[in-house]
């Protein structure tokens, strides 16, 4: 897809030096890019699992490499990085028994809890109630927008903004949706904020932007003072068309950028 003529001035207005990435499901594996090492196919779990925590690589780790090389990061039934990622990407319909303890108080003698919530019971309530949308293709791909072909389009678009750019994106999202609650910061680990919550809102018919990147285990995969900002593709197209009419077109914004 050719966004060049509209994307470049939009990025300049926001102060972005890196193009956004598109997130989508497909049945075709990219010819190039980064993917986690193969593991037990999800269709054969838990029968063939050894019961250990399957934690090899983070989704955001592969996305970071794809950002650096301007290529794709992709995931599937055998290349999912970790079991938590497989759940939140919609490849696995159930969570592992250890995950509520992992995001809370941990299991003595096995692993330290992350203390995001106060107890395994609270963690279980979160997992039981979340239900990530199912994957709509065999492969999840996250790649720069410039890599999309004419007949392709992403489901979601993700930015990696600093504070100033975040201010601009937040203002533009509210301007275009006329919704003071259009920008959300729901709880979740890295891939949950990047992929699951945006897809969940979209599935509900809601046009929401989701700010993520608050999982301390994912901070090493983001630049300093950087977060994620994921929006539906249709909102992104609206941004490209109408940003000059918003705060981004004002003299006050231009002074702030300077």
Mean pLDDT of all residues in 89-114:
93
- Using DSSP's 3-state secondary structure scheme, residue 45 falls into coil
> What whole-number percentage of the chain has pLDDT above 90?
82
Query: With 70 as the cut, is the pLDDT of residue 85 above it?
Result: yes
Model confidence band, residue 40 (pLDDT cutoffs 50, 70, 90) = confident
42 compared with 234, residue with greater pLDDT: 234
Annotate 45-70 with b (16+ C-beta within 10 A) or e (fewer).
beeeeeeeebebbbbbbbbbbbbeee
Q: pLDDT value at position 149?
A: 86
Predicted local distance difference test score (pLDDT) of residue 5: 83
Please return the burial class of 130, using the count of CB atoms within 10 Å of its CB with bins 0-12, 13-18 and 19+: middle
- Give the residue extent of every domain in the chain: 4-93+134-257
Residue 10 pLDDT greater than 80, yes or no? yes
Q: Residue 56's pLDDT is what?
A: 66
- 115 is written with which tokens? 């203390």
The whole-number average pLDDT for the span 30-34 is: 95
Q: Which pLDDT belongs to residue 13?
A: 95
pLDDT in tens, 193-243: 999 999 999 999 999 999 999 999 889 999 999 999 999 999 999 999 999
Asked if pLDDT for residue 53 goes beyond 70, the answer is no
Tokens linked to 69: 């090389």
């Amino acid at each position: 897809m050719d966004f060049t003529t509209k994307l470049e001035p939009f990025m300049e207005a926001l102060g972005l030096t890196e193009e956004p990435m598109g997130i989508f499901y497909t049945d075709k594996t990219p010819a190039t890019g980064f993917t986690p090492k193969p593991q037990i196919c999800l269709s054969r779990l838990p029968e063939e699992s050894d019961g250990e925590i399957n934690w090899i690589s983070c989704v955001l780790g592969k996305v970071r490499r794809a950002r650096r090389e301007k290529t794709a990061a992709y995931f599937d039934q055998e290349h999912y990085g970790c079991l938590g990622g497989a759940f939140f990407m919609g490849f696995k319909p159930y969570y592992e028994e250890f995950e509520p303890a992992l995001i809370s108080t941990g299991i003595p003698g096995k692993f330290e809890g992350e203390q995001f919530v106060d107890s395994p019971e609270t963690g279980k309530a979160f997992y039981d109630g979340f239900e990530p949308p199912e994957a709509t293709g065999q492969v999840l791909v996250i790649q720069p927008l410039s890599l999309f072909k004419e007949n392709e389009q992403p489901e979601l678009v993700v930015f990696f903004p600093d504070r100033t750019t975040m201010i601009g994106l937040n203002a533009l999202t509210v301007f275009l949706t006329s919704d003071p609650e259009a920008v959300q910061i729901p709880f979740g680990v890295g891939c949950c904020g990047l992929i699951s919550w945006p897809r969940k809102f979209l599935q509900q018919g809601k046009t929401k932007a989701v700010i993520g990147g608050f999982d301390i285990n994912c901070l090493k995969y983001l630049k300093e003072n950087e977060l994620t900002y994921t929006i539906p593709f249709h909102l992104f197209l609206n941004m490209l068309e109408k940003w000059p009419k918003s705060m981004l077109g004002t003299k006050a914004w231009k002074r702030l950028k300077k």
